[in-house]
């Protein structure tokens, strides 16, 4: 997005971005939807690497931490919101970090996996983070990224409806109030390989299902989940570290 928000505005945006109530008392149907989505992600990750040490970057309400722990991962989390981290520390006895990510002094070659679910598009400058993730991953460690897919059939359809004035709140699906970058899985995978020392492993449609979908939409999501056609509005990319970055 251009122009981007100021640093001060962005800091205020993420101060309280997650309601602490989402950590302590999220409605059950929404909690299950998040948990199921993360289980799907970890199933895909574990096709490429066995459970080991993981850093969940932008861990938000902590649902990915819960799933990682259930699946036997040695789990750490990071979030920019200190209140969020405080609530998570009351729930999980694991290392949790907040503050300036680049001043945490985390050791190189520490993690089998670094996990970002709907986070990369929020970063004002993604490149330094992708380089730092490379440093933190063990050789052959896996980076998991789930992001909105700007070129998906779903996104293109919403854009077309907006142009034809058949959709209320034209452009709402771009989420410009907090999304700063827009990706598609193909270009993201190529960027990671060309610029940041990763090797592409897998990509696909994401699995999150909004609670309360009509039965026919649920059936469509389940039937077409593993179809390679990029029809869903969000996607995932999995890659592995193949060479250290010159930081």
pLDDT tens sequence across 100-109: 999 999 999 9
| Statement: residue 159 has pLDDT above 80 | no
Which alpha helices (H) appear in 71-184, and where do they start and end?
Answer: 82-91, 126-136, 153-163
Assign 149 a pLDDT band (cuts: 50, 70, 90). Answer: confident
User: pLDDT tens for residues 20-65?
Assistant: 555 555 567 778 888 989 999 999 999 999 999 999 999 988 999 9
What pLDDT is attached to residue 134? 96
* Cα distance between the two ends of the chain: 26
Chain position carrying tokens 């640093």:
7
User: Which residue do the tokens 């992600």 mark?
Assistant: 41
Query: What are the helix (H) ranges across 109-214?
Result: 126-136, 153-163, 185-196
Residues 82-139: pLDDT tens digits?
998 999 999 999 999 999 999 999 999 999 999 999 999 989 899 999 999 999 999 9
pLDDT number for residue 246: 46
Cis ω on the peptide bond leading into residue 3 (within 30° of 0)? Answer: yes
Q: Name the fold adopted by 7-241.
A: Rossmann fold (3.40.50)
What pLDDT was estimated at residue 174?
Answer: 46
Backbone angles phi, psi at 233, to 5 degrees: -75, -15
For the chain, domain boundaries: 7-241
pTM for the whole structure: 0.82
């Amino acid at each position: 997005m251009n122009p981007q928000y100021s640093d001060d505005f962005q800091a205020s945006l993420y101060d309280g971005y997650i309601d602490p109530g989402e950590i302590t008392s999220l409605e059950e149907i929404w909690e299950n939807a998040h948990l199921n989505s993360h289980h799907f992600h970890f199933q895909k990750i574990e096709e490429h690497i066995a459970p080991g040490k993981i850093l969940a970057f932008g861990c938000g309400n902590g649902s990915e931490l819960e799933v990682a722990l259930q699946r036997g991962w040695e789990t750490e989390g990071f979030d920019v919101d200190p209140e969020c981290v405080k609530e998570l520390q009351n729930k999980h006895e694991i290392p949790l970090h907040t503050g300036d990510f680049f001043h945490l002094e985390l050791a190189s070659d520490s993690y089998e996996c670094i996990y970002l679910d709907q986070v990369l598009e929020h970063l004002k400058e993604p490149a330094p983070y992708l380089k730092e993730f490379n440093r933190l991953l063990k050789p052959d460690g896996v980076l998991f990224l789930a992001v909105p897919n700007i070129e998906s059939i779903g996104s293109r359809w919403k854009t077309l409806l907006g142009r034809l004035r058949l959709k209320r709140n034209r452009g709402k699906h771009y989420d410009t109030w907090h999304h700063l970058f827009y990706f598609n899985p193909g270009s993201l995978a190529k960027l990671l390989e060309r610029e940041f020392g990763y090797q592409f492993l897998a990509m696909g449609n994401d699995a999150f299902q909004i609670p309360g979908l009509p039965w026919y939409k649920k059936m469509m999501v389940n039937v077409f989940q593993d179809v390679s056609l990029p029809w869903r509005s969000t996607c995932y990319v999995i890659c592995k570290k193949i060479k250290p970055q010159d930081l």
